[in-house]
């Protein structure tokens, strides 16, 4: 299952599409699974991801959510693991347990600040940034834990495939290249970008990524760039991303078109947003068909990219 996903990722001409899911603030994710089923998007994607308490807001476990979704749909799930909530002991323990349930792709994040959590007086752990988790995964893949102690031969973890995230734009391209190099050198198999909103952004980002692979110190780097894709159907969402989320740039033509459509009504606003999103999605597929779709659990919108 995972080997096939990674094969699709590394084959430059093969389509690779994953879909983000956010576990709910609930003791089960039955409603989330039902939404995925109802959307009809499963047949069009190669795998899923689960988020790990985004914005430090309490949600169902990303790893256990990955287990349930993977078992239900028989497609690999990338479980997000952040440095915010775990020390090295807990990180390794979670990876071992996940491995036993065949969750073998992880998205390594440093994590949002605990200061914005919905849980009073929460404190972040942050023993390191996401590079520490990538190093732990590399140790596991060589048969030892982070302290250097070997695992027993019959208890050695199955291969884990780590992913990272990267901004889609930057004022200083050299800064973005430097961050890419760091994640490549720490053995990420895929770098998932923040959402891109034009083919020009995608072309520039891929060019920077190729520069990063050329200057990194690891021989023959095999990491791949994956474009983040967030369909926009509301002007307020586009404006929020443009103003409040670092590393994302929503072009003025998107903002203008959605603003004008919003004055007509929600139906027109959604029509215009879907039209622009579908057009970009098709361009990305033709240019570099490695895409991670984010819809804030509105999976029916993801399905509409193929309609």
pLDDT in tens, 159-207: 999 999 999 998 899 999 999 999 999 999 999 999 999 999 999 999 9
CATH entry 3.20.20.220 includes domain 2-232+290-306: yes
In the predicted model, what is the mean pLDDT of residues 124-134?
92
Q: In this prediction, what percent of the chain has a pLDDT beyond 90?
A: 86
Q: Strand 47-50 to strand 105-109: parallel, antiparallel, or no bridges (unpaired)?
A: unpaired
User: Where are the chain's structural domains?
Assistant: 2-232+290-306
pLDDT of residue 246: 84
Choose among 135, 161, 160, 140: nearest CA to 151.
Answer: 140
Q: pTM for this one?
A: 0.95
pLDDT of residue 253: 95
Asked if residues 47 and 1 have their Cβ atoms less than 8 Å apart, the reply is no
pLDDT of residue 171: 87
Choose among 223, 156, 147, 211: nearest CA to 187.
Answer: 223
């Amino acid at each position: 299952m995972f080997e096939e996903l990674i094969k699709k990722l590394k084959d430059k001409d093969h389509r690779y599409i994953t879909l983000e899911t956010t576990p709910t603030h609930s003791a089960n994710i039955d409603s989330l699974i039902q939404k995925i089923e109802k959307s009809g998007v499963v047949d069009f994607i190669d795998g899923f991801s689960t988020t790990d308490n985004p914005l430090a807001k309490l949600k169902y476990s990303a790893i256990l959510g990955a287990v349930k979704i993977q078992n239900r749909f028989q497609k690999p799930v990338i479980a997000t693991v952040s440095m915010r909530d775990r020390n090295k002991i807990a990180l390794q323990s979670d990876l071992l347990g996940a491995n036993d349930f065949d969750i073998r792709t992880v998205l390594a994040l440093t994590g949002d600040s605990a200061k914005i959590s919905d849980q009073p007086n929460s404190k972040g752990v942050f023993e390191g940034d996401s590079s520490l988790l990538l190093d732990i995964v590399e140790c596991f893949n060589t048969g030892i834990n982070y302290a250097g102690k070997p695992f027993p031969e019959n208890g050695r973890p199955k291969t884990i495939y780590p992913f990272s995230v990267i901004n889609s734009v930057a004022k200083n391209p050299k800064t973005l290249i430097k961050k890419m190099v760091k994640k490549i050198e720490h053995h990420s198999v895929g770098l998932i970008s923040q959402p891109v909103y034009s083919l020009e952004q995608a072309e520039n980002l891929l060019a920077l990524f190729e520069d990063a692979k050329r200057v990194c110190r690891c021989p023959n780097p095999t990491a791949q760039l994956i474009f983040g894709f967030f369909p926009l159907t509301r002007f307020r969402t586009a404006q929020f991303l443009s103003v409040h989320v670092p590393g994302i740039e929503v072009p003025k033509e998107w903002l203008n078109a959605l603003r004008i459509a919003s004055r007509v009504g929600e139906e027109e606003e959604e029509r215009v947003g879907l039209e622009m999103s579908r057009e970009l999605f098709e361009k990305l597929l033709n240019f570099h068909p490695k895409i991670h779709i984010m819809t804030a659990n509105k999976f029916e919108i993801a399905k509409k990219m193929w309609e």
